[in-house]
Amino acid sequence: MSAPAIATSNLSKRFGKRMAVNRLDLEVPEGEIFGFLGPNGSGKTTTIRLLLSLIRPSEGNAHLFGQSIRKEYPRYLHQVGALADEADFYLNLSALANLKLLARLHKGVDEARCLEVLRLAGLEERAHDRVKTYSHGMCQRLGIAQAILHRPHLLILDEPTTGLDPQGMHEVRLMIRRFANEEGMTIFLSSHLLNEVEQICTSMAVLSEGKLLVSGPVQQFLSAETATLTELQANPIGSARTALERLPFVSQVEEKNGRLQFRVDHQHRPEVAQALIEQDVEIYSLTPVSRLEDYFLSLFGSPDTGGELP
């Protein structure tokens, strides 16, 4: 059995009195698109910097494909490509010159490969332009291009869609899926965008105040049993709403696009249906809405944040 792409044991980082990462035990199997979630300041970026040896652990260790970040630095970085935080480059150089600069740090990466990754990132036509003339979205795409330059087995991305418009986000997510599916890379994706993780990740972990809260397959957290948000399509909608608002175990009833959304625990759903029928409401559908956001609300107990973690 091959070693996991990432395995941390007791990994900790202390800045003064504050524990940014606190005894983190995490395992990312090879081939996964792994979502690394947590609110701002939860220790996601610090963990990534530890994995990349940009900072030194205070305690514990991590192994990437079985290689210790403490003992086998910098050799283990052969297998790792990363976009740690925002994509920053040598602004006075062109995109191609930036990539050639980085290519010199790897064996067997030539100019043809630099052009190939620029093409993958959709930047081929601007390859000779100085990076200082690039938009934020182009820089992010170039950031991903530099990360895959040497064909790594593990791609670590720290909030790669931050600051991008919806089109840019979509393009970056497509790129990530393509790398995972076509090139077999393991992707470690840090994000505070729940819908992003929901859309593209196969497994995930949640970090809070430097500690691991939960870890497992995304589907596990999306299962109907854990969802409380429920959507109702019924007629007449006014009577349905009145009936729902009378039920003590139903809360937050809202009308959206001709449908009703409300919160109710899994075990009370039959009673909801019964109450609606008793009020002569015709039910077309009564569906639990499985969303990570919903799961997060149960974890952090925070109000709706529009798909972003608090």
151 lies in the site for other proteins, by CB under 8 A: no
In angstroms, how far is CA 295 from the centroid of its own chain?
Answer: 15
- Stretch touching other proteins by CB under 8 A, among 29-37, 98-106, 199-207, 287-295: 98-106
Segments in 86-211 forming alpha helices (H): 95-103, 111-120, 136-147, 166-182, 194-200
- Stretch touching other proteins by CB under 8 A, among 67-75, 121-129, 207-215, 265-273: 67-75
Residue 182 and residue 179: Cα distance in Å, rounded?
A: 6
Amino acid identity, residue 189?
L
Residue 111 and residue 99: Cα distance in Å, rounded?
A: 8
- Give me the 214-253 binding string for other proteins, x by CB under 8 A, dash otherwise: ----------------------------------------
User: At closest approach, how far in Å is the CB of 13 from other proteins?
Assistant: 9
Binding residues for other proteins, rule CB under 8 A, total 32
74 lies in the site for other proteins, by CB under 8 A: yes
Q: Which is nearer to other proteins, 144 or 169 (CB)?
A: 144
Helices and strands (DSSP H and E) totals, the chain: 10, 14
Residue 309 and residue 295: Cα distance in Å, rounded?
A: 11
53 lies in the site for other proteins, by CB under 8 A: yes
In the chain, % helix, strand, coil (3-state, to 5) comes to 35, 30, 35
User: At closest approach, how far in Å is the CB of 213 from other proteins?
Assistant: 25
14 lies in the site for other proteins, by CB under 8 A: no
Q: Which is nearer to other proteins, 157 or 253 (CB)?
A: 157
146 lies in the site for other proteins, by CB under 8 A: yes
Burial tier of 185 (Cβ tally within 10 Å: 0-12, 13-18, 19+): buried
Angle (CA) 29 117 50, round 5°:
40
Q: Select from 3, 54, 224, 277 the one that contacts other proteins (CB under 8 A).
A: 54
Two structure tokens written together for 233: 């399509």
Q: Do residues 24 and 210 lie in contact, with contact meaning Cβ atoms separated by under 8 Å?
A: yes
143 lies in the site for other proteins, by CB under 8 A: yes
Q: Select from 14, 29, 31, 55 the one that contacts other proteins (CB under 8 A).
A: 55
Q: Select from 101, 120, 275, 283 the one that contacts other proteins (CB under 8 A).
A: 101
Q: Select from 19, 33, 80, 187 the one that contacts other proteins (CB under 8 A).
A: 80
Residues that bind other proteins (CB under 8 A): 49, 52-56, 73-78, 80, 82, 84-93, 97, 101-102, 104-106, 143, 146
